[in-house]
A and B are shown apart, each in its own frame.
Chain A
Amino acid sequence: MARTIIPFGPQHPVLPEPIHLDLAIEDEKVVDVLPSVGFIHRGLERLVERKDFQEFVYVAERICGICSFIHGQTYCQGIEELMQVEVPARAQYLRTIWGELSRLHSHLLWLGLLADSFGFESLFMHSWRVRERILDQIEATTGGRVIFGSCKIGGVRRDISPEALAVMRKELDVIERDMREIVDVFLGDSSVKRRLQGVGVLSRDDAYILGCVGPTARASGVAQDMRSLGYAAFRDIKVEPIVRTEGDSYARCVVRCAELFQSVDIIRQAIDRIPPGAIETKVTGFPDGEILVRTEQPRGEVAYYLRANGSRNLQRFRVRTPTFANLPALVRMLPGANLADVPVLVLTIDPCISCTER
């Protein structure tokens, strides 16, 4: 059988962001794959040498448009730990609420894109309709829909009033009901199952050896969730990782669907337990030393390395994003797949290329 190379991306209808794959095809089967990234490198890590460490929160938030808040939060956590700043409990809870709201809207965005990748347009629209309600809640509490801008070193910029929290709680009931409707379709519909079950199986050993993170790892049976480290309000709110063992595309979908309801539950718990008090601690001086911080983004674990020398600019800033960790798994999944399943498989790791390239 003659081997053909098909270029996939960087511009492709199914890809939200540019990644290029050279697919070696025999008949309709993928036999080899060579990924290349680097189309949207912006040099954000280097910018740390020119920006004031307090201003850099804005840059960290702009690493990614979907997990923007958690990027900002991770950076702030690192600097706070370096400077030994005690963040007020209320700010920790507010960060948790916003972090979980961003996980909700990220997973719904992913569900929509997944449906779109196998041509299920109506399901795509329904997913994004529900996502709009979450974005409205985010805008009402932070002032922004995509870039929250509410996290700062030492705490948060905005408080959420008890009335707004009550509105959010009510809205969560509606969102949960709407999500239940679309999740039932994702998990029960025959055509969805036919496109996802048994496609792109990643074994537990592969997931572990290749260093997968987040829902991709959890769908293959690796029980790993950075929220169990107990950062922010997770020291009070316990999170059990949602794990499946099948390792196929359907399992990755099931994990993310279950995480939607887990996040709603976490936000409810946070609203019930949020303590009154200050929302920020005044930060004076400059950071010194080096630190590695890990948090759980919608796509998995993100690791931040920060090094400071006591001046207003950091010396080094390095981000290991979840998509970067999951790309080797994608390369492992693709050989043996049908060409028509490539878009679905690329989507199942929830690629965020702007994060990966920074």
Chain B
Amino acid sequence: MSYLGITALNLKWALKGPATRGYPLAPRRVIADSRGALAFAKANCIYCSVCRKKCPTGAIGVNRNQKKWAIDRLRCISCGYCVEVCPKDCLSLTTYMSPPTVTKDREVF
């Protein structure tokens, strides 16, 4: 019967220092292939609407006549399906999250 195992483990980690990061003083470690907010390059877009049709949450809106592309950041789940199907490679996933917001606005490009 032993009670010492956890004592030894706790002592080891007490001497090692915290396993967590001193946020916000220590910056977040960015993992290279992480799926974050969706980025849109307007220059290449042909407004074909494939991304809008494929988006599983209906977060993307495309208006071919007005040449407008819009995204509802709160609906986007960063799945990357639109990036996969875009014929002109104008969509990409960044490694950072979209900033917090208090309104449900659509971001229009």
Chain A positions within 8 Å of B, measured between CB atoms, are: 51, 55, 58-59, 120, 122-123, 126, 129, 132, 136, 139-144, 147, 149, 157-158, 181-182, 184-185, 188-191, 193
A271 to chain B, nearest CB (A): 18
B22 part of interface (Cβ distance < 8 Å) = no
Task: Among A58, A126, A132, A136, point to the contact of B56 (Cβ < 8 A).
Answer: A58
Stretch of B43-51, B63-71, B77-85, B100-108 on the interface side = B77-85
Give the CA-CA distance A220 to B13 in the complex, in Å.
36
B42 part of interface (Cβ distance < 8 Å) = no
Give the CA-CA distance A55 to B57 in the complex, in Å.
10
Instruction: Count contacts on B: residues with CB < 8 A to the other chain.
Output: 23
Given pairs A120-B6, A189-B5, 7 additional interface contacts (CB within 8 A):
A51-B56, A132-B19, A149-B79, A182-B9, A188-B5, A189-B3, A190-B3
Q: Are B13's CB and A126's CB within 8 A?
A: yes
Give the CA-CA distance A123 to B93 in the complex, in Å.
37
A22 to chain B, nearest CB (A): 35
B25 part of interface (Cβ distance < 8 Å) = no
B89 to chain A, nearest CB (A): 16
Interface of A is mostly: helix
Give the CA-CA distance A185 to B3 in the complex, in Å.
8
B-side contacts of A185, CB under 8 Å: 5-6, 9
Instruction: Sample 7 A-B pairs with CB under 8 A, ordered by A number.
Output: A51-B56, A55-B56, A132-B19, A144-B35, A182-B9, A189-B2, A193-B1
A345 to chain B, nearest CB (A): 23
B26 part of interface (Cβ distance < 8 Å) = no
Which among A141, A157, A184, A185 has the greatest number of chain B C-beta atoms within 10 A? Answer: A185
Q: Are A129's CB and B19's CB within 8 A?
A: yes
B15 part of interface (Cβ distance < 8 Å) = no
Task: Among B10, B19, B34, point to the contact of A139 (Cβ < 8 A).
Answer: B34
B76 to chain A, nearest CB (A): 12
Q: Are A122's CB and B6's CB within 8 A?
A: yes
Give the CA-CA distance A184 to B84 in the complex, in Å.
45
Give the CA-CA distance A245 to B44 in the complex, in Å.
64
- The residue in chain A whose Cβ has the minimal distance to the Cβ of B36 is A143
B45 to chain A, nearest CB (A): 22
- The residue in chain B whose Cβ has the minimal distance to the Cβ of A193 is B1
Q: 6 closest Cβ contacts across the A-B interface?
A: A143-B35, A190-B1, A185-B5, A55-B56, A58-B56, A129-B19
- The residue in chain A whose Cβ has the minimal distance to the Cβ of B29 is A136
Give the CA-CA distance A149 to B1 in the complex, in Å.
45
A253 to chain B, nearest CB (A): 15
Give the CA-CA distance A122 to B6 in the complex, in Å.
8
Give the CA-CA distance A171 to B43 in the complex, in Å.
42
Give the CA-CA distance A132 to B33 in the complex, in Å.
17
Give the CA-CA distance A51 to B93 in the complex, in Å.
24
B54 part of interface (Cβ distance < 8 Å) = yes
Q: Are A190's CB and B2's CB within 8 A?
A: yes
- The residue in chain B whose Cβ has the minimal distance to the Cβ of A148 is B35
Give the CA-CA distance A184 to B2 in the complex, in Å.
10
A-side contacts of B32, CB under 8 Å: 140
Q: Are B31's CB and A123's CB within 8 A?
A: no
Task: Among A58, A122, A141, A188, point to the contact of B33 (Cβ < 8 A).
Answer: A141
Give the CA-CA distance A38 to B64 in the complex, in Å.
44
B-side contacts of A143, CB under 8 Å: 33-35, 80, 93
Q: Are B56's CB and A157's CB within 8 A?
A: no
Give the CA-CA distance A126 to B18 in the complex, in Å.
11
